[in-house]
């Protein structure tokens, strides 16, 4: 698997989500300030609800902008055999049933991309799985909720 291609896919995914959220934030802001949203009686909360939505959308835009910047600033090193997993590593975990791939990223945990027919999930070092993977090496066993997995790859 090409780690640089995966990083590009992650950035493309984050940028697309950012564009979508920017449009949603603009629409929510317009709805919150639209004269038609003005309360018609004391029980009408359209304007209040629209302002809450606009604030939430603006926060999400800020989070995505930070994530894009963090990934653009990331210069992942090449991991050699025997190196411990760290930020920027692509880690493979193998169980009896399957092999899963994780990218240890600085932000945007939960982002999924497809590369070479395989799903790669972004996890952060602060996540429970990220904490388990940090410092692990090829062949290390990792306790999982459904048993154990073995680190099959660190790139």
- In sequence order, which residues have a C-beta less than 8 Å from that of residue 51 and are 6 or more positions away? 32
Tell me, yes or no, whether 9 and 66 share the same domain. yes
83 assigned to some structural domain = no
Q: Which residues face 101 on adjacent strands? A: 92, 120
Tell me, yes or no, whether 65 and 100 share the same domain. no
Number of domains in the chain: 2
- Give the tens place of pLDDT for each residue, 26-69: 998 888 888 776 777 777 777 788 889 999 999 999 999 999 99
Q: Is the pLDDT of residue 24 over 80?
A: yes
Report the mean per-residue pLDDT for the chain: 92
Residues 67 and 84: beta-carbon distance below 8 Å: no
Residues 5 and 118: beta-carbon distance below 8 Å: no
């Amino acid at each position: 698997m090409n780690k640089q291609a995966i990083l590009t896919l992650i950035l493309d995914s984050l940028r697309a989500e950012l564009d979508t959220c920017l449009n949603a934030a603009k629409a929510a802001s317009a709805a919150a300030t639209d004269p038609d949203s003005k309360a018609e009686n004391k029980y009408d909360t359209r304007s209040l609800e629209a302002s809450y939505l606009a604030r939430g959308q603006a926060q999400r835009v800020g989070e995505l902008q930070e994530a894009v910047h963090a990934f653009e600033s990331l210069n992942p090193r090449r991991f050699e055999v025997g190196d411990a997993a760290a930020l920027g590593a692509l880690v493979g975990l193998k169980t009896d049933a399957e092999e899963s791939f994780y990218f240890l990223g600085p932000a945007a945990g939960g982002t999924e991309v497809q590369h070479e027919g395989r799903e790669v999930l972004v996890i952060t070092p602060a996540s429970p799985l990220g904490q388990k993977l940090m410092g692990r090496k090829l062949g290390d066993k990792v306790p999982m909720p459904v048993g154990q997995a073995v680190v099959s790859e660190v790139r």
